[in-house]
Structures are given as structure tokens and as C-alpha cells.
Amino acid sequence: MISEDTIVAISTPIGSSGIGIVRMSGDKAFVIARKIFSPSSRTKVSWTSSFKMYHGWILDPETKEPVDEVILSLMRAPRTYTREDVVEINCHGGLVPLRKILEICLREGARLAEPGEFTKRAFLNGRIDLSQAESVLEIVQAKTEKTLNLAIKSLRGELSNHILSIREEMIDILSILEAEIDFAEEEIEILPEKEKEKYLDNLIQKLENLLDRAKTSQVYREGIKAVIAGKTNVGKSSLLNTLLERERAIVSHIPGTTRDTIEETINIKGFPVCIIDTAGLGIAKNPLDEEGAKRTRNSLKMADIILRMGDGSSSLEKEDEKVFATVKELKKQTLLIINKIDLPQRINKNKLREIFPHLHPVEISATQGSGLGRLKTEIANLILKKITPTSEDLMINMRQKNCLEKTKKCLIRAKEGLENNLSVEFLALEMREGIEHLDELTGRSLGEEVLNRIFSRFCIGK
């Protein structure tokens, strides 16, 4: 599965920037670098050294013409990201010099790297396990600082250490069961039934603790969908723009300006929150109104939190009542917001309390920014009702969660078999299967097709 090719890719985003990086990894990385790099006049390159940087120029071997002024970084195996020889060419960050250097490296014998292939090689060469490799992608895609911190914990091996500890305990129990099978004729019970049950209960509890953390990590990774719902011209788009601190949605005093849903993610108290601006749920006057209302209803069905918005400067209308009825019917976590408190107030707050007796409205002015601090706090409080963040939180993705759930089911079946006096062979079979699922999680036993699918989600150059 480990390719002997030398791979190359642009490792920085395409575009204009101060620095761009072309990365190579493999046995020929130093050979290719030696062909295309010309050190500056006073620089002497030690090609046998590692962790050295040199100033010079990339030359096109065919024309001998300089392509760009660069800093060349040389890193010898095995103390590199991939555990192979690695060369990084730091050039100017323009599209033309980056692509030209990439083309020269390809011409001299390197192969264009597949998405995630550098990290895949780090995994295949044993520098990191699969859960750590996946955390690299989590770092790249992190939406908040908290998400980044959790991903870094996984990269440093915290999840791997938990899995390794559980696996070792399962192997210990399996070895005892195997010994009892080998000495079945002597009817020797190496470990009493009660002790076996105690071991299984302890392992199941450890897996349940990890699965609880998976719920928290899902919120940090995928975020929470918060849908702004209200009648037309209530200030939904103004609220979105104020939360984003930029003009994302068109704002107008003309009712019905927003016809489609608009989604943007913001950081609220460390949580990535996808704020969705919607069209009003008023009486449809034309097909566009009807389509806008349909999309609003679909967004509300998918929402984790509904930000029910009312206009404090006007009395409650039939359109308000329609929105109230739709929101109550969905039975979702709801935050009641009264907007436009900077204007004379006409809204009937007693009527609001009758409709939503358990909700305390948050009063804001979307255009002036008043009350937004409390609004963010209340949104965060609703999120905290879904999860309980702790210092022991870990980043656990859906694939890893699935492996943990399968292992837990094996242990539960083993415990049930123990209670029903099933044979030791049955218990050993469940333990072996559970260990296999843990090995899937860390990548000890996983097919190449699955590995390719996992690493295909990475960007090229990582």
C-alpha cells in the first residue's frame, strides 16, 4: 500500500500571497531538488544534512533560466511529516511561479500527489494512527478556536490513548477466555463469572463515556443551525448582517425583500452557529412568495434552534400569529426576540407571554446593535442544554463513533452471553470482533478502499 513514488503538490492556497510552498516527499525528493536548485553565491548546500534552509533560485533544467527566488528546506527521513525525505520550496505566492515550479518537479520525475496523500503516507509509515490523521483534516476545517483545540488534542494522541487502553483491557480478557478454552477438559475457571462481568461493565462504561463526548464534538464540528423566523420586514436580514458585522443580506423597508434562505456561520461563545435568514411566512401574493415560504418552512424543520423574531414597533398581526403557530407546532428550542426597541413600542407583550409562557423575550435593536450581547449568551445557553462541555472533550467523528458503537454492542452481547451461561467460545468471539472494530478506528485493520475514501476528503498538498 505504501507507494515508492516521489510526490509533489502545492501546499498553500492558490492565489496571491507573500509566500507559496511546493512540497515533495519520497526517495527522489533530494535528487530532484539538487537538479533544479541553484544556491546563492555564498551558500553551500549540505545535501546529507537535515532540517536546513538555503537561499537561492529555482532554475528550469531545460533552459537554465531562473524561475523564482526561493528558500529551500531539506528534511531527511525518518524525522519528517511523512517519515520520508521531504523538500519544501518556499517561493513567492503567485499562481504563475507556483505552477511553474510544480511543472518542473513533475517533469523531473515526481508525481502529482493525491488529496491527503502526504498525511496518508504519515499514517502508512507509522508516524500517526488513523484517528490522528483524521484530526489533521479537523484542524484544517476548524470553524472556532475550541474546535481547533479539540482537533489538536486528537492529533497529539489523546483519543488514540483512550482506544489503546480499552483495547489492551479487551485483549487481557480475551487471553483469559482463550486459556479457559485451551483447558476446557480440566474445567479450570481462571477468572470467576462475577469478575468477568465486572470487567465487561467497566469497559462498556468507558465506551459510553467516549460516545457522550462524541455528541459534544459533533456540535463543535458541524455547528448548530439557528433559523431566524418572523413576518416580513421584521428585521431578520438586519440581524444577520449585524451578527456577521458585514452586509451579507439586502436590507430594505419594502416587505418581502428576502425571498431565499441565506446561511452564514459565526462563532458564538466558542460554538460554530449557522445563522439562517429566511423569507417571511405571510400570505403568498405570487409564486415567488410561495416558494420563499416553502423554503422557510423547510429550514425551520431542519433547525436546532429557532430565533422567533417580533417587531416591537408594531402590533401583533395575522402574519405574526401564523409564524407563532408554525414555530409552536415544531416543538423546537426557541428563543423569542423583540426587535426595533429603538423605536416607540406598540407590541402587546402580555399577548406574547400567553402564547409563549415559558419564554422570556430578548429585546434588541438589530440596526443599532443593542442587546446583541445578551442574545449571543442566550443562544449559547440553549446550546449548552444540548451538550455538557468538559475539559475532557475529544474530537470524535462519525466513522470513529460508529466503530465505538459496534465495539460496545459486542461487549453488551458478551455480557448477555455470560448471564445466559453461553459457552466461553461465544464470549471470545464477541471480544475478538470488538477488538477488530477498535482496530478499524485506529487503522490497524482497514481496507485500502476505505483508506482512500477517508483521505480523499483532504486537500491536495496535505
For the segment 80-111, what is each residue's pLDDT rounded down to a tens digit?
999 999 999 999 998 999 999 999 999 999 99
Contact of 431 with 174, CB cutoff 8 Å: yes
Stretch among 99-103, 112-116, 323-327 having the lowest mean pLDDT: 323-327
Entry pTM: 0.74
Q: What would the mean pLDDT of 337-345 be, rounded to a whole number?
A: 89
Residue 30: its pLDDT value, please?
96
246 is an annotated ligand-binding site residue: no
235 is an annotated ligand-binding site residue: yes
For residue range 20-46, list pLDDT tens digits in order: 999 999 999 999 999 999 999 777 899
3-class SS letters over the chain: CCCCCCEEEECCCCCCCCCEEEEEECCCHHHHHHHHEEECCCCCCCCCCCCEEEEEEEECCCCCCEEEEEEEEEECCCCCCCCCCEEEEEECCCHHHHHHHHHHHHHCCCEECCCCHHHHHHHHCCCCCHHHHHHHHHHHHCCCHHHHHHHHHHHCCHHHHHHHHHHHHHHHHHHHHHHHHHCHHHCCCCCCHHHHHHHHHHHHHHHHHHHHHHHHHHHHHHCEEEEEECCCCCCHHHHHHHHHCCCCCCCCCCCCCCCCCEEEEEEECCEEEEEEECCCCCCCCCHHHHHHHHHHHHHHHHCCEEEEEEECCCCCCHHHHHHHHHHHHHCCEEEEEEECCCCCCCCCHHHHHHHCCCCCCEECECCCCECHHHHHHHHHHHHHHHCCCCCCCCCCCHHHHHHHHHHHHHHHHHHHHHHCCCCHHHHHHHHHHHHHHHHHHHCCCCCHHHHHHHHCCCCCCC
Residue 102: its pLDDT value, please?
96
C-alpha to C-alpha distance for 338 and 377, rounded to whole angstroms = 16
**Residues whose CB is less than 8 angstroms from the CB of residue 256 and which lie 6 or more positions away in sequence, other chains included:** 232, 233, 279, 280, 282, 289, 292
Residue 283: its pLDDT value, please?
57
Res. 248: pLDDT tops 60? no
258 is an annotated ligand-binding site residue: yes
Q: How confident is the model at residue 79 (pLDDT cuts 50, 70, 90)?
A: very high
**Residues whose CB is less than 8 angstroms from the CB of residue 419 and which lie 6 or more positions away in sequence, other chains included:** 197
Percent of the chain topping pLDDT 90: 36
Q: Which residue has the higher pLDDT, 354 or 228?
A: 228
Res. 256: pLDDT tops 50? no
Q: How confident is the model at residue 388 (pLDDT cuts 50, 70, 90)?
A: low
237 is an annotated ligand-binding site residue: yes
Name residue 334's beta-bridge partners: 306
247 is an annotated ligand-binding site residue: no
Strand 20-25 with 37-39, pairing: unpaired
279 is an annotated ligand-binding site residue: yes
377 is an annotated ligand-binding site residue: no
C-alpha to C-alpha distance for 310 and 308, rounded to whole angstroms = 7
Res. 249: pLDDT tops 60? no
User: Mean pLDDT across the chain, nearest whole number?
Assistant: 85
254 is an annotated ligand-binding site residue: yes
Domains of the chain with bracketed CATH = 7-127 (3.30.1360.120), 136-218+397-443 (1.20.120.430), 224-386 (3.40.50.300)
99 is an annotated ligand-binding site residue: no
Grid coordinates representing 290? 410561495
Res. 390: pLDDT tops 80? no
255 is an annotated ligand-binding site residue: yes
Contact of 335 with 308, CB cutoff 8 Å: yes
242 is an annotated ligand-binding site residue: no
Q: How confident is the model at residue 286 (pLDDT cuts 50, 70, 90)?
A: low
Strand arrangement of the beta sheet that strand 52-59 belongs to:
37-39, 52-59, 66-75, 86-91, 20-25, 7-10, 111-112
Q: What would the mean pLDDT of 402-416 be, rounded to a whole number?
A: 95
C-alpha to C-alpha distance for 146 and 3, rounded to whole angstroms = 36
| Ramachandran area for residue 270 (φ above 0: left; ψ -120 to 50: alpha; else beta) | left
For residue range 201-218, list pLDDT tens digits in order: 999 999 999 998 887 888
CA atoms within 13 A on the CB side of 408: 15
Res. 257: pLDDT tops 50? no
Of 89, 70, 81, nearest to 30 by C-alpha is 89
83 is an annotated ligand-binding site residue: no
256 is an annotated ligand-binding site residue: yes
Residue 253: its pLDDT value, please?
46
Residue 68: its pLDDT value, please?
95
462 is an annotated ligand-binding site residue: yes
Of 446, 443, 462, 387, nearest to 129 by C-alpha is 443
Residue 251: its pLDDT value, please?
43
120 is an annotated ligand-binding site residue: no
234 is an annotated ligand-binding site residue: yes
Res. 10: pLDDT tops 50? yes
Name residue 23's beta-bridge partners: 9, 88
Stretch among 13-17, 93-97, 99-103, 188-192 having the lowest mean pLDDT: 188-192
7 is an annotated ligand-binding site residue: no
17 is an annotated ligand-binding site residue: no
Residue 351: its pLDDT value, please?
81
